[in-house]
């Protein structure tokens, strides 16, 4: 008997990121990463990459702390949205509906087992380029200004969790996500887990929080078209005094070519390229990495930098 895959959720849609240095963070996302501003409301600035088709993929919110505000996924249709709402309510994780945002219509909110807030919605505010932002090629959302790292689109995010195995159970039921890769330690504990709702190799990853804190954020990733642009991004960060944590290098897990930097408020941001790799198999078998395999470091032998295992936002007061 074949289980049928669930395709109710179309894609990761946006991330709300908190910053206690709102001006510096905004400057980073616009001038270094290369996002464009779509609008402002309250303490938030709405940002998007040049080929993101929705109003925003990043909601940057001034706050007293850092980390993630909430994560938004867009459903495949209104009926698909309602199927997910029923499933999530049945799991007891629902927080109820809100009235939407500048970027989209009403959204149903829920919490993952680690306390991070998510929302799902279908009605969206599709970006329409004003004349000055019209791209030369009409199949692209917006003109590419080539500013900073000139990222193309939101790719994925990574959250920290006390117990990743709870997330591994939760996400497939809540969003219909598939687990494409995972790290299982010798103890049997799950150190990391990569999920996707579509053909991307992952749209969200969870890794174990080594502190006793919940709801923390590891990083947010925008995709560039070519590995060479990740190298150029490193030069741009170098010239502009952005803190480079590690990379460019290739992850063994998911084979992503990565560069990790910290935006001015301390939130980790990745610029990445996945090449032509996609998850096309409807019955993809989860790839499990052992503790021994992880000790080999990244794909080409780079030892994983210590802060990659310890730095999350908001920072933990010790």
The Cα–Cα gap between 8 and 83 comes to 8
Among 92, 99, 132, 139, binds a second copy (CB under 8 A): 139
182 binds a second copy (CB under 8 A): no
Please tell me the distance from the alpha carbon of residue 260 to that of residue 190, in angstroms, as a whole number: 23
In what order do the strands lie in the sheet containing 67-75?
36-41, 44-48, 58-62, 9-19, 67-75, 117-121, 107-111, 94-98
Least separation in angstroms between residue 231's CB and a second copy is: 6
Both tokens of 81, joined, read 């949205």
Q: Which of 64, 186, 295, 300 binds a second copy (CB under 8 A)?
A: 300
Instruction: Tell me if 140 contacts a second copy by CB under 8 A.
Output: yes
Residue 10 makes contact with a second copy by CB under 8 A: yes
Among 65, 210, 226, 310, binds a second copy (CB under 8 A): 226
| Of 55, 121, 217, 257, the one binding a second copy by CB under 8 A | 257
Site map 80..119 versus a second copy, x via CB under 8 A = x---------------------------------------
Residue 194 pairs with which residues in a beta bridge?
A: 181, 205
Candidate residues 99, 131, 188, 276; the one interacting with a second copy per rule CB under 8 A: 276
Measured from the CB of residue 4, what is the shortest distance to a second copy in angstroms?
4
Asked if residue 236 binds a second copy (CB under 8 A), the reply is yes
Q: Which among 97-105, 141-149, 209-217, 262-270 is the span making contact with a second copy, rule CB under 8 A?
A: 141-149
| Rg, Å, the chain Cα set | 19
Per CB under 8 A, does 289 bind a second copy? yes
From 41, 281, 307, 310, residue interacting with a second copy (rule: CB under 8 A): 281
- Cβ atoms of 255 and 299 within 8 Å: the answer is yes
We find the least distance from the C-beta atom of residue 43 to a second copy, in angstroms, to be 28
Range 194-213, binding a second copy (CB under 8 A): 198-200
Find the binder of a second copy among 223, 263, 264, 311 (CB under 8 A): 223
Pairing assessment for the beta strands 217-223 and 268-273 based on DSSP bridges = parallel
Residue 280 binds to a second copy (criterion: CB under 8 A): yes
Of all helices (H) and strands (E), which one includes residue 83?
helix 78-90
Total of residues contacting a second copy (CB under 8 A): 81
Q: Which is nearer to a second copy, 115 or 282 (CB)?
A: 282
Write the CA distances from 46 to 76, 261, 272, integer angstroms: 23, 21, 21
The reply to whether 221 sits near a second copy by the rule CB under 8 A is: no
Q: What residue ranges in the chain does DSSP mark as E strands?
A: 9-19, 36-41, 44-48, 58-62, 67-75, 94-98, 107-111, 117-121, 153-161, 178-184, 190-196, 204-208, 217-223, 243-250, 257-262, 268-273, 287-290
Half-sphere exposure of 180 (CA within 13 A, CB side): 22
- Site membership for a second copy, residue 252 (CB under 8 A): yes
Residues 27-86 touching a second copy, rule: CB under 8 A, are 51, 53, 74-80
Question: What are 21's two structure tokens?
Answer: 């240095």
Interface residue with a second copy, options 38, 44, 254, 313 (CB under 8 A) = 254
Distance CA 97, CA 91 (A): 16
Binds a second copy (CB under 8 A): choice among 102, 129, 185, 244: 244
Distance, in Å, from the CA atom of 35 to the CA atom of 249, rounded to the nearest integer, reads 23
Q: Can you name the residues that pair with 269 across neighbouring β-strands?
A: 220, 261
Closer to a second copy by CB, 137 or 318: give it.
137
């Amino acid at each position: 008997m074949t289980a049928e895959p669930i395709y109710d959720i179309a894609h990761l849609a946006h991330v709300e990121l908190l910053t206690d240095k709102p001006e510096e963070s905004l400057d980073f996302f616009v001038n270094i990463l290369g996002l464009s501003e779509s609008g402002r409301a309250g303490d938030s600035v709405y940002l998007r990459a040049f080929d993101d088709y929705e109003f925003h993929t990043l909601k940057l919110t001034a706050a007293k702390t850092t980390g993630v505000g909430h994560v938004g996924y867009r459903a495949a249709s209104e009926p698909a949205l309602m199927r997910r709402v029923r499933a999530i309510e049945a799991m007891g994780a629902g927080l109820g509906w809100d009235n939407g945002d500048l970027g989209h219509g009403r959204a149903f909110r829920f919490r993952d087992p680690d306390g991070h807030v998510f929302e799902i919605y279908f009605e969206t505010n599709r970006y329409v380029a004003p004349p000055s932002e019209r791209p030369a090629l009409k199949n692209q959302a917006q003109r590419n200004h080539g500013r900073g790292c000139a990222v193309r689109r939101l790719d994925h995010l990574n959250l920290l969790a006390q117990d990743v195995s709870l997330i591994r159970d939760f996400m497939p039921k809540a969003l219909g996500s598939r687990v494409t890769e995972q790290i299982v330690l010798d103890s049997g504990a799950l150190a990391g887990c990569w999920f996707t709702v579509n053909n991307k190799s992952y749209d969200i990853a969870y890794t174990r929080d080594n502190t006793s804190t919940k709801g923390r954020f590891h990083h947010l990733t925008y995709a560039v078209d070519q590995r060479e642009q990740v190298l150029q991004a490193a030069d741009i960060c170098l010239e502009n005094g952005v803190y480079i944590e590690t990379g460019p290098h290739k992850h063994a897990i998911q084979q992503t070519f990565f560069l990790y930097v910290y935006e001015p408020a301390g939130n980790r941001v990745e610029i990445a390229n996945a090449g032509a790799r996609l998850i096309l198999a409807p019955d993809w078998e989860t790839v499990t990495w052992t503790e021994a395999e992880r000790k080999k470091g990244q794909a080409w032998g780079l030892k994983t930098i210590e802060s990659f295992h310890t730095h999350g936002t908001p920072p933990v007061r010790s």
